[in-house]
Amino acid sequence: MHRRAPPPRLRRRRHHGRRAHARLARARPRAPALGRRARGARPRPPAGDARRRTRRNRQPRGLLLHSRSCELPGAVTRILHIADLHFGREDERLVAALAEEAERLAPDVIVAAGDLTTFGRRREFAACRALFERFSAPVVASPGNHDVPYANMFSRLVSPWGRFHHRMGDTVAPRYRDHQIAVESFETARGAQWRLDWSLGKARPDQAREVARRLAAHGGRETLRVVACHHPLVAPGGLTGRAKTKYGAAAADVFIQGGADLVLTGHMHQVFALVERWDGHSCWFVGASTALSRRTRDEPAGFNVLDVDDHHFSMHVHVATPEGGFVRSETRRLDRAEAELVPEHPGEPGI
């Protein structure tokens, strides 16, 4: 009997160690230098799936970007990467600080990588929605394991994300598009699973293929392709412990082969940046700390800002201060082509 040959296994060059395995945390806080990083003007994006907000329309981003482009040339796309906000256990001082930082940093898009709430309660979603309504930038959100209605087993089984979508409404979107970037959310959280720990992630490779196809359909290789999901698909130390995302490695392979540039995740409450390569293409897997929660693990609360140009991702890690604000703790430059970390130049201005 003729048997079909198995597909060639993806050969990956894993980059662990000092050069490419960047665990970015616990760095000495540094006062941010405000407004010195220039970003170029971009054409006004076409109508995408992420809805334009009323406030955003009142204050056109084009004007803001144009004024920056007058200072320095060079097109940079900025992503604000937040995760694990955990409303219900939030530090209210950090909520106000995050709203201010989001306004000051003026990202092109905000990626909220799940666990917006603690128990999926209505009042927790309402508090999160109130914050997102203050953002000028569109938010692409992917639900996390804490965003299911924890106490309602029927809803968990029948419609685990019904409350998430109903309560967050048009403050979040599953995708975003403009002339430089395409972002797609990818669900890894489940309302129930055939294993004891339902908080762990479970990816669906067929859904990953569909997400990769949509990203590729938006534009050529010059378009930045970003995946937003809650659970890690690649993690420091591998997919073990809390990072045990079922079929996570298979989904990661799909994204790497499909040409994704960035996969932004949460759940671990840990900042990291790991790279995988396939056929000369690099895909960075980036984790963020908890943005607002008072229940931190080994790392302080914080978020990431990613400035993307043709050659690098500049990853600015921001951490919470005891006073209830955020400061930039460090910046790492992730090389898009060489799959290496490039140390920040000592004299380079921060954000």
Catalog residues that contact Fe ion under the rule CB under 5 A.
84, 115, 144-145, 267
Q: 301, 290 in Cβ contact below 8 A?
A: yes
Taking the least distance from each CB to Fe ion, the nearer of 257 and 296 is: 296
Taking the least distance from each CB to Fe ion, the nearer of 120 and 138 is: 120
Give the nearest distance from C-beta 207 to Fe ion in angstroms. Answer: 18
Question: Cα 277–255–301 angle (5° rounding)?
Answer: 90
Give the nearest distance from C-beta 268 to Fe ion in angstroms. Answer: 8
CB atoms within 10 A of CB 21: 16
Give the nearest distance from C-beta 96 to Fe ion in angstroms. Answer: 21
Taking the least distance from each CB to Fe ion, the nearer of 267 and 336 is: 267
- Residue indicated by tokens 């160690």: 17
Give the nearest distance from C-beta 147 to Fe ion in angstroms. Answer: 9
247 backbone φψ class: left, alpha, beta (φ>0; ψ -120 to 50): left
Taking the least distance from each CB to Fe ion, the nearer of 101 and 115 is: 115
- Strands 181-185, 272-278: pairing is unpaired
286 backbone φψ class: left, alpha, beta (φ>0; ψ -120 to 50): beta
Give the chain's end-to-end CA distance (angstroms, integer). Answer: 64
Give the nearest distance from C-beta 139 to Fe ion in angstroms. Answer: 17
Taking the least distance from each CB to Fe ion, the nearer of 115 and 330 is: 115
Taking the least distance from each CB to Fe ion, the nearer of 88 and 107 is: 88
Q: 330, 27 in Cβ contact below 8 A?
A: yes
Taking the least distance from each CB to Fe ion, the nearer of 201 and 258 is: 201
Nearby residues of 342 by Cβ (< 8 Å), 6 or more positions away? 312, 332, 333, 334, 335
Give the nearest distance from C-beta 269 to Fe ion in angstroms. Answer: 6
Q: 227, 215 in Cβ contact below 8 A?
A: yes
User: How many Å apart are CA 326 and CA 162, to the nearest integer?
Assistant: 33
Give the nearest distance from C-beta 266 to Fe ion in angstroms. Answer: 6
Taking the least distance from each CB to Fe ion, the nearer of 177 and 267 is: 267
CA distances from 201 to 163, 187, 239 (A): 19, 9, 10
- Residue indicated by tokens 């420091």: 236
Give the nearest distance from C-beta 124 to Fe ion in angstroms. Answer: 13
Q: Report which DSSP code applies to 315.
A: E
Q: What are phi and psi of 10, to 5 degrees?
A: -65, 120
